[in-house]
């Protein structure tokens, strides 16, 4: 059996405006599991290779796979479906499989397309192994948990409890020299050190996909992968892509201690909640090489934070950013504008608040109700969604109106947020001094992109 895994082309993306193309770890994990089980696998990462559907079709014809598996998030679902369609045209006998966040939560819609044979719902490592085994050996697919077809849907698959049992992503199948940020070569390697999230933020689909139970890889296993990135792929900085890397402080301390014990001197960054950061933890992380934190601020309105179930408060946000400055930690503040209860006044207040925090960078996303989230269910039930084109669900295009803001007004407010934050003379001077000329490319890319 030959399996071709495809990250489909995209014409627009929430990351394109900052020139970011990152490795698709999801399909790389699945590919590693398939290889462990003796399956021949190839990965075609279309965004990294900068190829369109015509080239993808030629690659499919050339490889002649038995199974074509396409991953998709919401903004890329149309491209993923087109990829499955051309796959059927190129190799009519190949089984087409779609997986990822969007197909998981919209499998009935996806399966209306006769060129899609199977949808993987949820985590796909073991599911794909069993799909391949069933197809190769003529077994009943109804016994494979975690899938849907036009004729049946099987029970959900149990989550993988022991994440150390999963092999590292099959990076040898990825074009590692083609990943970029700001359209420059990406010397950053990405790692996921845990899955699941006990929090229930209304706009996040992670707990629906990976469960609310936090599952963590051991510190030794995580640092093994860091060494793998450094030694085998010449990575200079590691980015932890967990929903919240700092949820379990003891595990963070263990990782930091292991990094220092092994003499790793590479820099790294992570995601964090402001209410998980203490001065002691921050100092330990800094000493172990952490230089960047991605922090969810979301809003300056405490009532709004309560409504989205964020479970943080404004004072804690301020205190955490003060701590990061004390330890010279580079920060990225994540903000969401345009939730249903937002007003023009509250949005302007949030923009002002973020500037007072003085993060190194800020990302002002527009509220986007992704399938699988409580936010989507609420927005759909109350007929708040104005745009049904999934390709617009990029966090950069408005898809629902607020109390007193139209779609056009929301877009203008987002542009205002980016420009007011990045085009301040004091900000440009400060970042140019600390980060060098790269800040000029950052500013140009962000302001042009929105």
Query: Domain limits of the chain?
Result: 2-148, 187-449
The predicted structure's pLDDT at residue 445: 63
**Domain 187-449 sits in which CATH superfamily?**
Aldolase class I (3.20.20.70)
Per CATH, the number for 2-148 is: 3.40.50.2300
pLDDT at 432: 72
- Three-state secondary structure readout of the chain: CEEEEEECCCCCCCCHHHCCECCCHHHHHHHHHHHHCCCEEEEEEHHHHCCCHHHHHHHHHHHCCCEEEEECCHHHHHHHHHHHHHHHHHCCCCEEEEECHHHHHCHHHHCCCCCCCEEECCCCHHHHHHHHHHHHHCCCHHHCCCEECCCCECCCCCCCCCHHHCCCCCHHHCCHHHCEECCEECCEEEECCEECCCCCCCCCCHHHHHCCCCEECCHHHHHHHHHHHHHHHCCCEEEECCCCCCCCHHHHHHHHHHHHHCCCCCEEEEEECHHHCCHHHHHHHHHCCEEEEEEEEECCCHHHHHHCCCCCCHHHHHHHHHHHHHCCCEEEEEEEECCCCCCHHHHHHHHHHHHHHCCCEEEEEECCCCCCCHHHHHHHHCCCECCCCHHHCCCCCCCECCCCCCHHHHHHHHHHHHHHHHCCHHHHHHHHHHHCCHHHHHHHHHHHHC
Q: Which tens digits make up the pLDDT trace of 34-52?
A: 999 999 999 999 999 999 9
pLDDT of residue 14: 46
Task: Compute mean pLDDT per 10 residues along the chain, 450 residues long, and list them.
Answer: 95 56 94 98 95 96 98 95 97 97 96 98 97 97 98 96 97 91 72 88 77 91 97 91 93 98 94 94 97 91 78 90 95 92 92 95 92 90 92 92 92 94 86 66 64
pTM: 0.93
């Amino acid at each position: 059996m030959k399996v071709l895994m495809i990250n489909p082309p995209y014409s627009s993306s929430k990351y394109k405006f900052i020139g970011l193309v990152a490795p698709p770890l999801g399909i790389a994990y699945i590919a590693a599991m398939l290889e462990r089980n003796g399956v021949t696998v190839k990965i075609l990462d279309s965004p990294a290779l900068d190829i369109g559907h015509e080239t993808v079709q030629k690659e499919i014809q050339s490889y002649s796979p038995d199974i074509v598996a396409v991953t998709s998030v919401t903004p890329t679902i149309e491209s993923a479906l087109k990829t499955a369609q051309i796959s059927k045209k190129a190799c009519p006998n190949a089984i087409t499989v779609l997986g990822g966040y969007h197909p998981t939560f919209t499998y009935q819609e996806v399966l209306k397309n006769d060129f899609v044979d199977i949808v993987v719902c949820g985590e796909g490592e073991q599911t794909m192994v069993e799909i391949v085994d069933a197809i190769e050996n003529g077994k009943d697919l109804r016994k494979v948990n975690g899938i849907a077809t036009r004729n049946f849907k099987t029970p959900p698959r149990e989550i993988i409890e022991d994440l150390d049992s999963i092999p590292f992503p099959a990076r040898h199948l990825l074009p590692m020299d083609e990943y970029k940020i700001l359209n420059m070569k990406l010397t950053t390697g990405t790692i996921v050190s845990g899955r699941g999230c006990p929090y229930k933020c209304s706009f996040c689909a992670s707990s629906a996909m990976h469960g609310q139970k936090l599952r963590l890889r051991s510190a030794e296993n995580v640092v093994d992968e860091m060494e793998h990135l450094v030694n085998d792929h010449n990575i200079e900085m590691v980015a932890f892509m967990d929903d919240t890397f700092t949820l379990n402080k003891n595990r963070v301390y263990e990782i930091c201690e292991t990094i220092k014990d092994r003499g790793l001197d590479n820099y790294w960054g992570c995601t964090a909640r402001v209410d998980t950061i203490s001065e002691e933890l921050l100092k330990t992380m800094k000493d172990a090489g952490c230089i960047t934190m991605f922090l969810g601020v979301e809003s300056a309105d405490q009532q709004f934070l309560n409504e989205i179930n964020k479970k943080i408060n404004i004072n804690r946000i301020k205190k955490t950013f003060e701590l990061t400055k004390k330890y010279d930690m580079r920060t990225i503040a994540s903000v969401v504008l345009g939730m249903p209860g937002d007003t023009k006044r509250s949005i302007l207040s949030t923009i002002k608040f973020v500037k007072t925090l003085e993060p190194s960078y800020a990302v002002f996303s527009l509220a986007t109700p992704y399938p699988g989230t409580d936010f989507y269910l609420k927005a759909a039930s109350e007929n708040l969604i104005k745009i049904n084109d999934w390709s617009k669900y990029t966090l950069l295009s408005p898809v629902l109106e607020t109390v007193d803001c139209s779609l056009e007004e929301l877009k203008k407010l987002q542009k205002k947020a980016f420009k007011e934050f990045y085009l301040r003379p004091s900000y440009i001077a400060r970042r140019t001094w600390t980060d060098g000329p790269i800040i000029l490319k950052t500013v140009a890319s962000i302001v042009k992109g929105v």
